[in-house]
Amino acid sequence: ANFSEQVVESFPSDISTGIYYGWACVGNGDVHKMVLSIGWNPFYKNIKKSVETHIIHVFKEDFYGEILSIVITGYIRPEKNFDSLEALISAIQEDIEEAKRQLDLPEHLKLKEDNFFHLPEGKLVNNH
């Protein structure tokens, strides 16, 4: 799930590029573990900064146009380039496993229940 250019531009400018983990919620649905990439994705030679969310859950249908709420709880590694698509895929799998391990820790698990994910419908946080 990729954030729009407008949302990416509103991220704090001092946030380091790299791979993060945390919690994500689509619309008013359940909260799931996620891995987040912030940066330029050097393997794909992107010219614009992107924020891409990989929700660790299988959805039954697409959720284009839904509101995606996230809470970033930790940092895995810096952004880097890869020699091959296979190396990139392997790193992504390692990032997912690390995120799962970290998010099972009590200090991260408690954030899954944060009120942020249960705001009354129509309420915005920081204009988003």
Active site residue 52: yes
Q: Which of 52, 79, 97, 107 is catalytic?
A: 52
Q: Name 13's Cβ contacts closer than 8 Å, sequence gap at least 6.
A: none
Give me the active site residues, please. Answer: 52
